Structure 1
Amino acid sequence: MRGGRGGAGSVGRGERDTVAGGARLYEAARAVVDDHGRAVEAIRAALKPIHDAAVKRELDAIPVTRLQDVTEGRLRLGSVEKSSLRTVGSVLDAGPYRLRQIPGVGQRTVDQMLAAARRLSEAVHESVAVHIDVDHPEPSTTALVMALHVLVEAGPDARRAVDKATVLVERLGLLLTDARPAAGRFRMLLAAQEKKTRALAAVAEIRSLMDEAERAGLPGLFAQASVDLLRAPESDVAAWVDFELRSAEYYSLLAEISGHLSDAAAAEGFLPDEIAERVRTQRLDDAHRRVSLRGYQAFGARFALAQRKVILGDEMGLGKTIQAIAVLAHLAAEGQSHFLVVCPASVLVNWTREIEARSALRVTVLHGPDRHHAFADWKGRGGVAVTTFDALRGFPSPGGGEVGLLVVDEAHFVKNPNAKRSQAVALWAERCGRALFMTGTPMENRVVEFRDLVRMLDEGVAASLGERDALAGSVAFRKAVAPVYLRRNQEDVLTELPSLQQTDEWEELSTSDEEAYRDAVRAGNFMAMRRAAYMGPEKSAKLDRLREIVQEAGENGQKTVVFSYFKDVLAVVKESLAAEITDGAPVFGPLTGSVPAGRRQQIVDDFAGASGPAVLLAQIQAAGVGLNLQAASVVVICEPQIKPTLEHQAVARAHRMGQVRPVRVHRLLAIGGVDERMVKMLETKTRLFDAYARRSAVAEASPDAVDVSDTELARRIVEEEQVRLGMREDGMTEERLTAAE
């Protein structure tokens, strides 16, 4: 037979082409794996000197007497303590010869000392976490940030490519070896019958793998991944800027590569073994996801999938929204088509933006006068619908299996079973096969309310939560709620804490907000436009969100500082907080330019000295310089600032050396108006040019030198808003544009 394809001893062009194509796919896959390996090794090489220095600092701080603890008191260190060797680090540096020179120290003591010191050194190596100081970059940390930038920038697609490539390299490597005789006509003729048979079988498998890879788009994925993995940052400054914008992703990657992951039991919420094991084995598909997960976040998503109806109660700042999106993306990959997110109106826009940015899922907003038309559209086309608690009551509840997942954010809003919003959520939860309730408020501290929330998900678990024998925090309580409840705290799961987490809180103006804003635009009053969202406190969307943030911080025992440029905004905030939500938590301030410097410091000291949660109100230009606000771990900025340096300086008052918790910054922004225009106009400057400026001694000495003209910015925004709203007026005075209050 010549050129035939059917005989065991023949090989045609088709077989040869298949082997050649398989070899090309193998090389492409291996290139991705190798490129990723080099990127990982670059990170490890950059990390090693920083980690070693951190270990040395730690060992140099451990007194030599700790060696007795390691040996259970068997070591006699009297002579050593009298020498110049005061720390465990100095003992290791000294080595056996120098230790032997200490009077009264024999070889046995030297051996015991060094063995104990090495045990402590190993423990420190395992536990020391590297912290990247963004305010004091050094060559070593710059090298690490630049190495991390490559993998962070490559993103989840590169990770997906590496995972697929690793499997292909392993499978194709063996098959290509077996198929080698089929690569040439004469090789096949000379091969033994057994090798010929094995070669043709391997060719068939290679062809199948190539078809499968083509359908999955792997050649394109591999090519793009290799490009991304070889792309270095434009400059060290660009890498640092990116680190500031998404430090959590950098720290997540650093923890994974360094092996310094959080304690497994803490990351798994101290769940019973049988539940934790079931969750670990739950598959998590990332095909529709555009964000990488930290280990504890992946576990949280798997918990929701494995247990079907659960409450995710992670502390604020641990990424509950990202975990919910991971669940949605997985279920979409499995073929589910309809999902519903229910949340307070204050976070509806944020949910929409997060889903669009971090997944490939389609989003439909069910809110406002057209919500019923939007509901019908969602029913027909599918995707993720996002609505509010109040709007939910107006929609017909689904049939069984119709909605793949119900997500309820700020679930403590529905803890009262007699409230209509709670009844609506309970009905939807009953009709949906899966439900994910989310709350950063530690509900387990209120057993009665917690039980009512759990009852919507699992009657049996709710019935087991008696008030006497299920005290919050007890072993019995944790075991009873484990099937439906997962909570992790920052200090337990973030070994390398992102020191600064920034969140833009986009709000949709209420009707009264919109009226006040239109009046300000009509008058050409730029400063009135900026504070219009607070002028109707009883219906203020920004104020509603601010109260929620302060409430949640208080529930978690955290102090909050609230910044605004405007005195009257701070007055509105103070009245609202004092009247409604602080539950006895004191409200200090406001700190303004008219408060004498000595009095300002006294207010700050009182705020820091308050036991438990507290709130400090401060005018951003008055409190941004010269005060230490590190008692606060939550910062709220009421409106965007014309000068980004004002925000940087204000946040730096709380986020500075000595801060033992990460600082979470919330910027309250209104969509479709002055806030959005200011953010867009200043975006490039804030992220890049200002980052250069903050690393420039000249610019730090004169921060105003790099800010755009206040007057020009204000004029442009007012004119554009008047055009947008159909009320353009000429002849605005410069005084009107720049008047502060």
Structure 2
Amino acid sequence: MKLFPHQERVLNATYEYNRVAYYLDMGLGKTFVGSEKMWELNTPYNLVICQKSKIDDWKNHFLEHYDYQVIVFDKQKIENIPPESVLIVNYDKVWRRPELHKLRNFTMMLDESSMIKNESSNRSKFILKLGADNVILLSGTPTGGKYEELWSQLHLLGWGISKKLFMKQFVIQEWDERNQRFKIIGYKNVDRLKAKLAKYGAVFMKTEEVFDLPIVNESIVKIPGTKEYKQFARDHIIKIDGQELIGDTAAAKKLYLQQLAGVYNENKLQYLKDLIDSTNDRLIIFYNFKKEYEALTNMIDRPISTVNGDFKDLTAYEECNDSVTLIQYQAGAMGLNLQKANKIVYFSLTDKSELFEQSKKRIHRIGQDRPCFYYYLLTAGSIEWRMLEVLKERKDYTDALFEKEEM
């Protein structure tokens, strides 16, 4: 397998390490670097933990480039795992497979290792207790700009610092009188933290350090608002399309404001239809909710591909130049190679900075030779404007932040 020079540099720099983190920007080929490191480590058994949507990609990658026996650990129990094999399991199921605790003499690779940033979750606690001889972490956004979320990954790399000491040394906190708890307001000793990460086998690499990718063009489209949005923002209750929306909590109010700015806004749906009709190019559309997916599929009269929690089919994207690909953030913002397209439309926005940043890299990556265009459809006077502002600061738009802004 022929690697790019930057991939060979990364492997050479970590040759002596058996626990590594390849924090390579989206599009720099973490899959190839990680699998080559696994092959170099040459353990009898290998375990790859990834998102559900990436299982087939990893399976096909190993079958195409290596001689491993590839086993997808889904519903069945596996009694005898043959040597020279790769076992693939997704994050949602791994902690339900207690037999993995018996596995020995193996290399563990975590694709999108930021999935274990919450060390108290079932998946993280399970993974942290596995007895891997070697560890390979892969992520383009390991922290989403939040260094406190690195601790569980550092633990796997062999840095035995406690969470309490880590927070004391690298995180700045202050007391929040209103919520009666400490809140994070910044970071300190960042250069020391980065030096420690390098010492424990972590490599960071940005796309701009390696390739001159095409220019990026962003357009914010102001969509007319609706009286229904204004009514709900004022009264926190409305009946629309036979459904009563009640914003009795901050989370519920935020959710329904997003939907009223999106799928319940006929102006936005009409603009999107006009935008689709204005080009014969492939389009990628990111959305959040099932109700949005239903409205979009009913409206679009072109070949459609889908990536969401229930279904994944990229046939139209691969085969049709005029296809429209509908992607739900959680299912498809990470990992997909969609550089046949060069236009992304954001019908609605995600709360999560990491998913937002990753979504943009689906088209702006190695192999793209055209300028990339991003269209943000924002309803006038709506929550969407503040959401985009926060996301561009590489922060999550949380319920707590929304509640604070509403006061």
Q: What is the TM-score normalised by the length of structure 2?
A: 0.51
More strand by share: 2
| Aligned residues of 2:44 and 2:84 also touching (Cα < 8 A) | yes
Match of 2:18 among 297, 308, 311: 308
Which residue of structure 2 aligns with residue 712 of structure 1?
none
**What is the SS of the residue equivalent to 1:307?**
coil
Which residue of structure 1 aligns with residue 145 of structure 2?
445
Summarize the Cα distance change of 1:306–1:398 in structure 2 as closer, same or farther, 3 Å threshold.
farther
Summarize the Cα distance change of 1:476–1:594 in structure 2 as closer, same or farther, 3 Å threshold.
closer
Summarize the Cα distance change of 1:387–1:663 in structure 2 as closer, same or farther, 3 Å threshold.
closer
What is the rounded CA distance, in whole Å, between the counterparts of 1:293 and 1:590 in structure 2? 48
Q: Give the drift of 1:459.
A: 3.2
Which residue of structure 2 aligns with residue 395 of structure 1?
98
| Aligned residues of 1:366 and 1:385 also touching (Cα < 8 A) | yes
RMSD, matched Cα:
4.9
Q: Give the drift of 1:326.
A: 0.7
**1:556-575 counterparts in 2 under 5 A?**
none
Larger RCO (CA under 8 A, 6+ residues apart)? 2
What is the rounded CA distance, in whole Å, between the counterparts of 2:123 and 2:272 in structure 1? 49
Which residue of structure 1 aligns with residue 343 of structure 2?
654
What is the one-letter code of the residue matched to 1:426?
L
What is the rounded CA distance, in whole Å, between the counterparts of 1:326 and 1:487 in structure 2? 17
Summarize the Cα distance change of 1:330–1:472 in structure 2 as closer, same or farther, 3 Å threshold.
farther
Which residue of structure 1 aligns with residue 74 of structure 2?
367
* Residue 491, structure 1, aligned to residue 208, structure 2: yes
Match of 1:406 among 92, 100, 108: 108
What is the one-letter code of the residue matched to 2:68?
L
**What is the SS of the residue equivalent to 1:487?**
strand
Identity %: 16
Q: Give the drift of 1:408.
A: 1.2
Q: Give the drift of 1:427.
A: 1.2
More helix by share: 1
What is the rounded CA distance, in whole Å, between the counterparts of 1:300 and 1:585 in structure 2? 42
Match of 1:324 among 23, 34, 49: 34
Q: Give the drift of 1:406.
A: 0.6
**1:344-493 counterparts in 2 under 5 A?**
344-368=51-75, 370=76, 372=77, 375-378=78-81, 380-393=82-95, 394-397=97-100, 402-428=104-130, 431-443=131-143, 445-460=145-160, 466-468=169-171, 471=187, 474-484=190-200, 485-493=202-210
**1:323-342 counterparts in 2 under 5 A?**
323-332=33-42, 336-342=43-49
| Aligned residues of 2:71 and 2:86 also touching (Cα < 8 A) | yes
What is the one-letter code of the residue matched to 1:361?
Y
Gaps in structure 1 of 5+ consecutive residues:
1-290, 501-557, 560-577, 605-613, 625-635, 656-660, 667-741
**1:589-604 counterparts in 2 under 5 A?**
600=274
Higher Rg of the two aligned structures: 1
- Count of matched residue pairs: 264
* CA distances 1:359-411 after superposition (whole Å, capped 9, x unpaired): 2222112111x2x2xx3231x444111122344332335579x3341101222
* CA distances 1:216-266 after superposition (whole Å, capped 9, x unpaired): xxxxxxxxxxxxxxxxxxxxxxxxxxxxxxxxxxxxxxxxxxxxxxxxxxx
Summarize the Cα distance change of 1:436–1:483 in structure 2 as closer, same or farther, 3 Å threshold.
same
Q: Give the drift of 1:308.
A: 1.8
Which residue of structure 2 aligns with residue 297 of structure 1?
7
What is the rounded CA distance, in whole Å, between the counterparts of 1:352 and 1:324 in structure 2? 14
What is the one-letter code of the residue matched to 1:348?
I
| Aligned residues of 1:341 and 1:408 also touching (Cα < 8 A) | yes
Match of 1:644 among 320, 345, 348: 320
What is the one-letter code of the residue matched to 1:654?
K
Q: Give the drift of 1:594.
A: 11
What is the one-letter code of the residue matched to 1:407?
M
**1:660-699 counterparts in 2 under 5 A?**
664-665=362-363
| Aligned residues of 2:106 and 2:134 also touching (Cα < 8 A) | yes
* CA distances 1:621-662 after superposition (whole Å, capped 9, x unpaired): 5699xxxxxxxxxxx99653397132399965618xxxxx99
**What is the SS of the residue equivalent to 1:341?**
strand
Q: Give the drift of 1:498.
A: 8.0
What is the rounded CA distance, in whole Å, between the counterparts of 1:600 and 1:468 in structure 2? 48
